[in-house]
Amino acid sequence: MIEYSERIAAIERHISQWEFPVEPKNLYDPLRYFISIGGKRIRPLFTLLSAELYNIPIKESLPGASALELFHNFTLIHDDIMDKAPVRRGLTTVHEKWDTNIAILSGDVLMIHAFQALSSYHAETFKRLSIMLNQTAIEVCIGQQMDMDFEQIDTVTEADYIEMIRLKTSVLLGCACAFGGIIGGASESSIKSLYEFGENLGIAFQIQDDILDAFGDSAKVGKQVGGDILSDKKTILYTTFQSKATDEDKAEFSRLSTASNDEKITGIKALYEASGVLGYCIKKQQTYQERAMNQLAKVECNQPKQNLFTLAEFITNRSH
Amino acid sequence: MIEYSERIAAIERHISQWEFPVEPKNLYDPLRYFISIGGKRIRPLFTLLSAELYNIPIKESLPGASALELFHNFTLIHDDIMDKAPVRRGLTTVHEKWDTNIAILSGDVLMIHAFQALSSYHAETFKRLSIMLNQTAIEVCIGQQMDMDFEQIDTVTEADYIEMIRLKTSVLLGCACAFGGIIGGASESSIKSLYEFGENLGIAFQIQDDILDAFGDSAKVGKQVGGDILSDKKTILYTTFQSKATDEDKAEFSRLSTASNDEKITGIKALYEASGVLGYCIKKQQTYQERAMNQLAKVECNQPKQNLFTLAEFITNRSH
């Protein structure tokens, strides 16, 4: 994303120089550590680009953009506890490096700092941004709970799966785009379109993520493909297969589930392709991508939308 | 608190009928359960009474009052995880009744609902209340971290101890009183005085709590006295003793620390009394109580302050 490197550098500076209190060290050292690990800073970038549609300089959109990045980091710290994840972005997670209590409390205070990051906006804008962030944050928690609940049940419908990824990840991208519109003083209908652009793009991104985990080029993805298949994760491929496959294919799937790792991955991928599941999911991904682009087309603004179109294309057509 | 029973009933109705989403059950059932357990609703009562100084009807101060009560309940759910507490208010804690992941996430979403509870205020008031709640919430997390840190160190100074209880519990009472002033349109200096009234009262209340745990009447306190002594908790009595006692008294304290439960409680209480520690702490409690009352006296308003004075007297002069 070389086109956006200056903006990402500005976000990085703003986030990494965040003035957390020095003490207590056990509360704030984990945050300094976790935030410096990095990340793609996709959400704040969408806020900056959306605000640019209305000629808003970076320094005015940065506080809103940073609020979302801080909030996102809070969700990662708490999700890592719940998932018992030892590593994030190649480094030890907070609950592993310190302990669970510290990860709970550091996450809590980070969420509050995210809300506090909006304080520089004047009252009307502050209220609109806060209310949208509140609603989005509640939905993200609901999505995380749905994701945890899915682990305990056998069958997840496609509709439930899409609703889960919409809540767990996509609404925050919708919020990021709408933030740009709110800060830019966009019309109600354009704020709504910006939100739906981000939301649909987020769903397309997540479906793409599921597909790449199985069918990506391992050299480009940067990890062995098939991890989701091995862990029987309820991805879009899995749920589609469960609802559409013939009894014969399901029997073969069942046999493969206890096969060796290589046979399981190769066999289930072949089943996904032959049964039309892969094609169906690619089409689904394209549908959400098109919905996103249609919403972006509807946004009324006084600056060109090319940057947002390019970034949207980039993140949904990626091969890794 | 018979004088306030109607107001407390109004708070109870408002909180217990909070419209959380029905689903996901694993996210919201714990909240419905925990909030219905009850509690004294002291913080929201202070908001209502403070707002009444400016003739504000209950229905206008209830949303702000409820935000604080929801926030307080969030801190209890997460504190109970950190303290591994099995019981709260006589009933099983959330992480015990469900599990730790559910308690983390339910707590998270409850904190967001607390912020969302302020949405009915117009933008200027909303911003002032939000910024104060943000700042208070950060301080509460810092106080909780200090409390956890104190368990790992040998010596805690009186100043550190007072700072910890100020942050962990008293700022929220300060915030509750200031909320009433903000909602009532009080002057800046009166909002500040209301805040400091609540803050100092909170410190006095907490010192009283420490004293009653050792010297209260067990029938009135409703539990065996001396629990803090048995668990070597760093209370105001303990920290004062550590800084003021003679070497001889400290040696006796040391000997008692491994004695039988009854001897330990009786012996250490006798030491606290004979060495002047109890007297010192009672005086300290009175000092904060007086500071609180002096701040309340400074508040400019158009209604009598008697209700607030009475409630403040009641909670700091209680014997249980």
E-strand stretches of B72-167? 87-88, 91-92
Taking CA atoms, what residue in A is nearest to B109?
A: A138
Domain count, chain B: 1
Q: Do A24 and B115 touch (CB under 8 A)?
A: no
Give the CA-trace dihedral at B156, B162, B168, B174, to 10 degrees: -170
- List the domain range (segments joined by +) for residue A213: 2-316
Helix (H) / strand (E) containing B119: none
Chain B residues 25-54 with a CB less than 8 Å from chain A: 26-27
pLDDT > 70 fraction of chain B, expressed in percent and rounded:
98
Q: What is the mean pLDDT of chain A?
A: 95
Q: In the predicted model, what is the mean pLDDT of residues B99-115?
A: 98
CA B111 → CA A107, A197, B314, distances in Å? 12, 28, 29
- A116/B105 touch (CB, cutoff 8 Å), yes or no: no
Instruction: State which of B83-87, B188-192, B242-246 shows the largest mean pLDDT.
Output: B188-192
Cβ contact (<8 Å) for B134 and A145? Answer: no
**Is B116 close to A134, i.e. CB distance below 8 A?**
yes
User: How many alpha carbons fall within 13 Å on the CB side of residue B124?
Assistant: 4
Taking the CA of residue A127 and the nearest CA in chain B, the distance in Å comes to 6
- Asked if residues B81 and B103 have their Cβ atoms less than 8 Å apart, the reply is yes
Rounded to a whole number of angstroms, the distance from the CA of B137 to the nearest CA of chain A is 7
Q: What value does the mean pLDDT of chain B take?
A: 95
Interface probe, candidates A26, A27, A124, chain B, greatest B C-beta count within 10 A: A27
* Predicted pLDDT at B37: 83
Q: What is the pLDDT averaged over residues A152-178?
A: 96
Instruction: Give the orientation angle of helix A42-52 with respect to helix A58-82, to 10 degrees.
Output: 160
| B24 chain-A contacts, CB cut-off 8 A | 142, 145-146, 149
Task: Report the pLDDT value the prediction gives residue B218, as an integer from 0 to 100.
Answer: 73
CATH number for B11: 1.10.600.10
Whether A148 has its CB under 8 Å from any CB of chain B: the answer is yes
A137 in contact with B, Cβ within 8 Å = yes
What is the Cα–Cα distance from B317 to B297, expressed in whole angstroms?
19
Q: Give chain B positions within 8 Å (CB) of A138.
A: 109, 112-113, 116
| pLDDT tens string A228-243 | 999 999 999 999 999 9
CB atoms within 10 A of CB A29: 18
pLDDT classification of B2: cutoffs 50, 70, 90: low
Residue range B163-200, pLDDT digits in tens: 999 999 999 999 999 999 999 999 999 999 999 999 99
pLDDT in tens, A110-144: 999 999 999 999 999 999 999 999 999 999 999 99
Residues of A in contact with B115 (CB under 8 A): 115, 130, 134
- Residue (of B203, B202, B167) closest to A23 by Cα position: B167
Q: What is the largest CA-CA distance in chain A?
A: 62
